[in-house]
């Protein structure tokens, strides 16, 4: 609580201005120590449970990611089977395109290696002026 002037107090948690007489009346409603200690005990038990859950969260996230990856693989495989069974011509064309693209890509790498070997000593044979 903040004191605005000598007779008015402002409660920052509720946003309510309170007169001095209300403050004095509320002081008679202070809870007993046993109720406070029970509340603190409940809060500490809740905190311990939350801490245990937080410690276990990393393991749970790892399990979730593993399960998610497995579900993604299963879904991909089901999609693959569905395409293969329901649209065999389109599937065959897609596979042929993928194989051809892979062959061209690997062929380019092989041809570059061959050119690098062939012209490795080019600068020594034909020095620049």
Q: Where are the domains of the chain?
A: 1-30, 32-86, 87-118
Edge-first strand order for the sheet with 8-11 is 2-3, 8-11, 16-19
pLDDT over 80 (residue 43): no
Q: What is the pLDDT of residue 11?
A: 61
What is the model's pTM? 0.31
Higher pLDDT, 10 or 61: 61
Q: What is the pLDDT of residue 65?
A: 83
Strand pairing of 2-3 and 8-11? Answer: antiparallel
Nearest-angstrom CA–CA distance, 98 and 11: 70
Give the model's confidence band at 15: pLDDT under 50 very low, under 70 low, under 90 confident, else very high.
Answer: low
Q: What is the pLDDT of residue 53?
A: 78
pLDDT over 80 (residue 90): yes
pLDDT over 60 (residue 3): no
- Above pLDDT 70, what percent of the chain? 64
Q: What is the pLDDT of residue 70?
A: 86
Instruction: State pLDDT tens for residues 100-114.
Output: 888 888 776 666 777
> How much is the mean pLDDT over the chain?
73
Average pLDDT over residues 17-21: 53
Return all residues near 10 (Cβ < 8 A) that are at least 6 apart: 1, 2, 3, 4, 16, 17, 18
Q: Which residues pair with 3 in a beta bridge?
A: 9
Of 31, 32, 34, 7, the closest CA to residue 18 belongs to 7
């Amino acid at each position: 609580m903040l004191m605005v002037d000598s007779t008015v107090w402002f409660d920052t948690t509720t946003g309510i201005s309170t007169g001095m007489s209300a403050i004095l009346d509320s002081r008679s409603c202070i809870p007993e120590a046993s109720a406070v200690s029970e509340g603190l005990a409940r809060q500490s038990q809740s905190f311990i449970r939350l801490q245990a859950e937080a410690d276990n969260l990393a393991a749970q996230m790892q399990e979730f990611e593993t399960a998610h990856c497995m579900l993604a693989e299963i879904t991909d495989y089901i999609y693959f089977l569905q395409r293969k069974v329901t649209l065999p011509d389109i599937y065959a064309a897609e596979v042929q395109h993928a194989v051809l693209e892979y062959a061209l890509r690997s062929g380019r790498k092989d041809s570059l290696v061959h050119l690098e070997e062939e012209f490795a000593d080019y600068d020594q044979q034909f020095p620049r002026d």
